[in-house]
């Protein structure tokens, strides 16, 4: 039997930094909602069995109407989000009843992920407990320590990190269902919140591989990101 792949799309964030009343995921980018642009990428990937968007509970009805309008046939359920992104992903994981499945997690606010990134992640997963898309950092990264006395609260550089070993992590992130579910359940029991899903697997000894992401694969978080996104659409 062909291994099923479930794509979880967390989109329940309040978007506080976005600075508009309308939910970030439903904000229009050049005439199309951001979330639709993201979901259409996933819809175009034949290996994906089902897409599971996660939205705020009060947006379930409007999201269902929107997704039906764009004929996103692989969406069979929409899951209500939780207090934090990690809770939202966990809510979606609980709906998957196939221990042999793979789970792909991709931010609803990343509408520029190339389909090749997803296919590459699938090909590179064997031998790992998960794989993440990432790009090498371009800037010099310095680790700081708490401000010293007499510095007016200015952070103090502790060290300059080796840029050749540093990556900016994106989504998609891909895992065997059993591994990511177990990592989420353990983190939930310990009330631990990670910065991404892969960090939960890492916390419990999992081996995470890195596949090449894209500098175009931005996460739309602030109003300034809309300007960048509009420019990317014209390229």
**Residue entry with tokens 């591989």:** 209
d(CA 87, CA 191): 11
> Which candidate, 132, 136, 138, 140, places its Cα nearest to that of 199?
132
Q: Reduced to 3 DSSP states, what percent helix, strand and coil does the chain have, rounded to the nearest 5?
A: 35, 25, 40
Using 50, 70 and 90 to split pLDDT, how confident is the model at 220?
A: very high
pLDDT of 229 higher than 80: yes
| Mean pLDDT along residues 128-152 | 88
pLDDT of res. 162: 96
**pLDDT tens per residue, range 141-196:** 999 987 766 667 788 899 999 999 999 999 999 999 999 999 999 999 999 999 99
pLDDT of res. 156: 86
Q: Which two tokens stand for residue 45?
A: 């990937």
Q: Where are the domains of the chain?
A: 5-135+168-233
Q: What angle, rounded to 10 degrees, do the helices at 85-93 and 177-189 form?
A: 130
pLDDT of res. 77: 97
Using 50, 70 and 90 to split pLDDT, how confident is the model at 216?
A: very high
pLDDT of res. 16: 57
pLDDT of 226 higher than 70: yes
**Residue entry with tokens 């989504």:** 171
pLDDT of res. 28: 87
pLDDT of 24 higher than 70: no
The number of C-alpha atoms within 13 Å of 66 and in the hemisphere containing its C-beta is: 20
DSSP 122-188: HHH-TTSSEEEEEEE--S--EEEEPPPTTSTT--EEEEE--GGG-EEEEEEEEEEHHHHHHHHHHHH
d(CA 46, CA 129): 23
pLDDT of 22 higher than 60: no
pLDDT of 139 higher than 80: yes
Question: What is the C-alpha end-to-end distance of the chain, expressed in Å?
Answer: 41
pLDDT of res. 18: 58
Using 50, 70 and 90 to split pLDDT, how confident is the model at 132?
A: very high
**pLDDT tens per residue, range 33-77:** 999 999 999 999 999 999 999 999 999 999 999 999 999 999 999
**pLDDT tens per residue, range 78-106:** 999 999 999 999 999 999 999 999 999 99
Please give the CATH topology (third level) of the domain spanning 5-135+168-233: Spore Coat Polysaccharide Biosynthesis Protein SpsA; Chain A (3.90.550)
CA 97 to chain centroid, in Å, comes to: 21
Using 50, 70 and 90 to split pLDDT, how confident is the model at 25?
A: low
């Amino acid at each position: 039997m062909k291994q099923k792949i479930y794509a979880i799309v967390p989109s329940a964030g309040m978007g506080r930094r976005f600075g508009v009343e309308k939910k970030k995921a439903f904000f229009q980018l050049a005439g199309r909602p951001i979330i639709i642009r993201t979901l259409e990428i996933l819809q175009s990937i034949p290996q994906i069995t089902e897409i599971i968007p996660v939205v705020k509970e009060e947006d379930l009805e409007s999201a269902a109407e929107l997704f039906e309008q764009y004929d996103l046939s692989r969406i069979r359920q929409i899951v209500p989000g939780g207090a934090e992104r990690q809770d939202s992903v966990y809510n979606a994981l609980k709906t998957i009843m196939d221990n042999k499945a793979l789970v792909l997690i991709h931010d609803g606010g990343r509408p520029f992920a190339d389909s090749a990134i997803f296919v590459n992640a699938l090909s590179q997963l064997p031998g790992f407990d998960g794989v993440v898309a990432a790009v090498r950092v371009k800037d010099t990264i310095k680790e700081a320590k708490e401000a010293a006395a007499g510095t007016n609260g200015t952070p103090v550089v502790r060290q300059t990190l080796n840029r050749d070993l540093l990556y900016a992590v994106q989504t998609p992130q891909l895992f065997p269902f059993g591994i990511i579910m177990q990592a989420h359940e353990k983190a939930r029991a310990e009330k631990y919140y990670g910065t991404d899903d892969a960090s939960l697997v890492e916390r419990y000894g999992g081996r995470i591989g890195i596949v090449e992401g894209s500098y175009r694969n931005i996460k739309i978080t602030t109003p300034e990101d809309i300007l960048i996104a509009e420019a990317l659409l014209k390229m």
